[in-house]
Amino acid sequence: MKIVIIGNSVAAINAIEAIREKDKVSEIEVISDESYMAYSHPLLPNLVIGNISRSDKRFYYRSKDFYDKMNVKRVLGKKVVKIFSKNKYIALENNEKIEYDKLLITCGGTPFVPPMKGADLKEGVHTLTNIKAADKLKKDLPNIKKCVVIGGGLIGSKVAEKLAKYGIKVTLVELMKRVLFPVLDDTAADYVHKELKKDKVKLILEDSVVEIRGDKRPTEVVLSSGKTIDTDGVVVAVGVRPNLDFTKDSDIETNRGIVVDDYMQTNINNIYAAGDVAEAYDVIISAKRPVPVLPLAARQGRIAGLNIAESNIKYNGGFPMNSMSIGKVEFISMGIVDSEELEILKIEKDNEYRKFLIDNNRLVGMILVGNVERAGIFNWMIQNKFDVSWIKDTFLNSDFGWKYFDKAFRVLRLNRKIK
């Protein structure tokens, strides 16, 4: 059997490992338009300002000998242009054909650049979703004294913080009323705002960039409010969307991402998808949607891999979850973070913020700022739709832990008798 994997990141690597657990014989071929080993995307901002280098083993997702050990053939630096699912082959940009028996699409997302004038300037306008973009930005750093970061998402705020620490005067422009809009609520975002301000990042909220002016390089940006900001660099970090370039013309069902069933298979037999490109089941909204977070990409990749290797493993669904530190503030959030209808428990004291959203005695979201160490227990509760009615009162205790659980349950759970 020949298994072809498009993409070479978290989902792909986990799929390879899963396949090799079950199947040591089949041919595996990985195709990627990047020519690097799988690396850690969240570390790109660190790469830009140089507190990690391309030779640091931290930067790479697996060790150098991973592909050899797993007996994987790599086709790197080549773009896939089309999938011919009837005849079971894919076409590369150099017209090369690669046949497959089973195909896994893990091509991730592409940066989304909102419509604005001047976004096509060659120099000084950057994104930050892959090594190439990071390298470009890094090279350009000496030319940047003032920088506008568009988008206060995970990458946007991180890069703003890192560039500010590097000594660049940063202005962060965010469309919504707070940074990290879907990840944090107002109170939690305030911690981040304070932290960014400490680094002298200028925050402009509820506004957006409509034009980047400049001849070769940007000289100023114009906001929808009419304000202008002098700048000599722009980083666009509005977000990513599933990379659906080559599935457009195929008969693979797509919505916002590639729609997959509970076994990570697309509507076409033997074609699987996983990771940021896939639109899989979300346990909180009980519907399919793309959730571009790393742990889910890994799990989906693993499940796709196992199913490719003819196991019958179901994906139980995931939900958004994020862990991040900006400056000294560490936070972890999961699921729904703000709501008017749900039951909300929250407490803020001693630079610690805890918030829980409960729907019908099921935990559906939470935010921890500061003391994050027990976050995983809540993750487990959300994932398993745990009935929290009898324990939710203790959620706000900063020493929350297994000690508050019912003894019989705790004993079984801690000794791995209950999943």
Partner 1 sequence: MKIVKINEDNCVYCHLCEVACITEHSKSKDIIKAFKFEEKPIARCTVEFNYPVSFSSMCRHCDDAPCVEACQTGAMHRDERGCVVVDPDKCVGCWMCIMSCPYGIIKRDERREVWGLSTKCDLCPDREIPACVEACPNNALTFEEV
**Residues of this chain that bind partner 1 (CB under 8 A):** 10, 14, 40-43, 46, 51-52, 57-63, 294-295, 298-299, 302, 321-325, 330, 332, 334, 372-377, 379-380, 383, 399, 401-404, 407, 410-411, 414-416
Q: How far is the CB of 305 from partner 1 (least distance, A)?
A: 12
Q: Residue 273 belongs to what H/E stretch?
A: strand 271-273
Sheet holding 97-99, edge to edge: 80-84, 89-92, 97-99
Q: How far is the CB of 22 from partner 1 (least distance, A)?
A: 14
330 in Cβ contact with 373 (< 8 Å): no
407 in Cβ contact with 391 (< 8 Å): no
Of 90 and 134, the one with the shorter C-beta distance to partner 1 is 134
Q: How far is the CB of 258 from partner 1 (least distance, A)?
A: 20
Q: Residue 377 belongs to what H/E stretch?
A: helix 375-383
Tokens of 348: 């803020």
DSSP 185-244: -HHHHHHHHHHHHHTTPEEE-S--EEEEEESSSEEEEEETTS-EEE-S-EEE-S-EEE--
Of 65 and 340, the one with the shorter C-beta distance to partner 1 is 65
**Number of DSSP helices (H) and strands (E) in the chain, helices first:** 9, 26
Of 104 and 204, the one with the shorter C-beta distance to partner 1 is 104
- 3-state SS assignment for residue 109: strand
Of 27 and 56, the one with the shorter C-beta distance to partner 1 is 56
Q: How far is the CB of 304 from partner 1 (least distance, A)?
A: 13
Nearest to 189 by CA among 176, 180, 198: 180
Of 4 and 48, the one with the shorter C-beta distance to partner 1 is 48
Locus of tokens 């790393």: 294
Q: How far is the CB of 298 from partner 1 (least distance, A)?
A: 4
Q: How far is the CB of 394 from partner 1 (least distance, A)?
A: 9
The single-letter DSSP state of residue 277 is G
Of 44 and 271, the one with the shorter C-beta distance to partner 1 is 44
Q: How far is the CB of 286 from partner 1 (least distance, A)?
A: 21
Of 186 and 406, the one with the shorter C-beta distance to partner 1 is 406
Tokens of 11: 């989902």
402 in Cβ contact with 376 (< 8 Å): no
Q: Give CA–CA dist 194/133, Å, rounded.
A: 28
Q: How far is the CB of 61 from partner 1 (least distance, A)?
A: 5
Of 243 and 300, the one with the shorter C-beta distance to partner 1 is 300
Strand 146-150 and strand 234-236: pairing?
A: parallel
Of 52 and 141, the one with the shorter C-beta distance to partner 1 is 52
List Cβ neighbours of 149 (8 Å cut-off, separation of 6 or more).
156, 159, 160, 163, 170, 171, 172, 173, 234, 235, 237
Backbone dihedral region for residue 70 (phi beyond 0: left; psi -120 to 50: alpha; all else: beta) = alpha
Backbone dihedral region for residue 367 (phi beyond 0: left; psi -120 to 50: alpha; all else: beta) = beta
Of 265 and 322, the one with the shorter C-beta distance to partner 1 is 322
Q: How far is the CB of 372 from partner 1 (least distance, A)?
A: 6
Of 224 and 323, the one with the shorter C-beta distance to partner 1 is 323
Nearest to 316 by CA among 256, 387, 382: 382
Q: Give CA–CA dist 302/310, Å, rounded.
A: 13
Q: How far is the CB of 42 from partner 1 (least distance, A)?
A: 5
Q: How far is the CB of 378 from partner 1 (least distance, A)?
A: 8
